[in-house]
Amino acid sequence: MTEMVYGALPVPDGEPILPKWWRTIDRWSLTTVLILFCIGLLLGLAASPPLAERNGYPPFYYVSRQAAFGVMAMIAMIVTSIMTPQAVRRLSVLGFLVAFVAIALLPVFGTDFGKGATRWYSLGFASLQPSEFLKPVFIVVTAWLLAAAQDLNGPPGRLWSFMLMTVIVGFLAAQPDFGQASLVLFGWGVMYFVAGAPLTLLLCMAGGVVVFGVLAYNSSEHFARRIDGFLTSEIDPTTQIGYATNAIREGGLFGVGVGQGEVKMSLPDAHTDFIIAVAAEEYGLALVAVIILLYLSLVLRSFLRLTHERDSFVRLAGVGLAATFGVQAMINLGVAVRLLPAKGMTLPFISYGGSSVIASGIAVGMLLALTRTRPQGEINDLLAGRAR
């Protein structure tokens, strides 16, 4: 029916999968991801040996594990990017069901590893954080519901997506994991706005977020402690924010030199949430600017390719994935320079963490699949035809 209405270009029959994938993929975005991961390994070589020594492991224990996780992430990204949008949607529905059950069972079977938030499953040889995997599949499922709501006699997808988002945010806030909850809420809000939500509704929701924040501050010691630490005018130099701020200041434009940084000796999360502090201290603003440009390039190129997409599901899912990926990076960087309160959020493809890097690989793989060149014609041609 879609081809009858919009028309379609002929698709070459019998073209092998991999050559077709290489011809249609956004190779610049793919290269950007590979560069980000290589930078992550480089920074891991600088940041993780002191931690490995303190924990009684070989010097490159965390780097080797990150490399193994990265290989799995790259395989997952490439396999996912080969899929059609329909296959991405089916995979996301199945993945969402599994991740949702895993999130719901965290209070019973999860652990907090002494960090005050029950976010992980301990597998013995590794840990699993289901919220990392929930984000991309939730975005795709929400895009499907919002796109279906635009069809004639379609389901109430907007209401269903809102209810789904509310339940998930509630589960995440109960852990508590306000960082991931804010990302889920942001991703849903971006897609809802692109789908045509009235601005007044979004403003009302923003007010609701403020009210929820006040309630969380008054009821959660974990949340209140982080907000108080952010709002105070004095920075305790013995806290993670204090160490990170000093490291960024010492790094200057070109850094103190490879291997000469001191923050990795005292910062517990130097290889994870605050790895950008290691980059800033040893390599300076130069490397930090490169990292920011790489993230910005990936997000903007995805948006640009999606402007030519006529399928509403693909547009919504692609925008949600790209925006959430970019905002997660922005939050991590903002926390390191004290523009945002600490949230315990990783820097995609750079921070250490199996769940983070593999989930990021799946998310970007979905984004690459949705932004592949497909024989559909341009959306501008469709709008011009309707105008005539």
Q: Which residue has the higher pLDDT, 11 or 258?
A: 258
The model's pLDDT over 15-58, given as tens digits with 9 standing for 90+, comes to 788 889 999 999 999 999 999 999 999 998 888 888 888 888 89
Q: Are 140 and 208 in contact (CB under 8 A)?
A: no
Contact 111, 120 (CB under 8 A): yes
For residue 147, give Cα distances in angstroms to 71, 243, 313, 317, 335: 34, 46, 5, 9, 34
**Which residues make Cβ contacts (< 8 Å) with residue 149, sequence separation at least 6?**
155, 156, 157, 158, 195
Q: Angle CA(306)–CA(321)–CA(10) in degrees, nearest 5?
A: 40
Which of 151-155, 236-240, 351-355, 372-376 is least confident? 236-240
Q: Is the pLDDT of residue 268 over 90?
A: no
Residue 222: per-residue pLDDT: 64
Rounded to two decimals, the pTM is 0.87
- 76 vs 59: CA distance, rounded Å: 28
pLDDT in tens, 106-130: 988 888 877 777 888 988 778 889 9
pLDDT(199) > 80: no
pLDDT at residue 146, as a whole number: 94
CA separation for the pair 130, 187 (Å, rounded)? 17
Lowest mean pLDDT among 4-8, 317-321, 323-327: 4-8
State residue 236's pLDDT score: 64
Q: Name which of 279, 275, 247, 248 is nearest 263 in CA terms.
A: 247
Residue (of 295, 360, 364, 347) closest to 40 by Cα position: 347
Give the pLDDT of residue 238: 67
Q: Is 121 helix (H, G, I), strand (E, B) or coil?
A: strand
CB-based contacts of 210: which residues, under 8 Å, 6+ apart? none
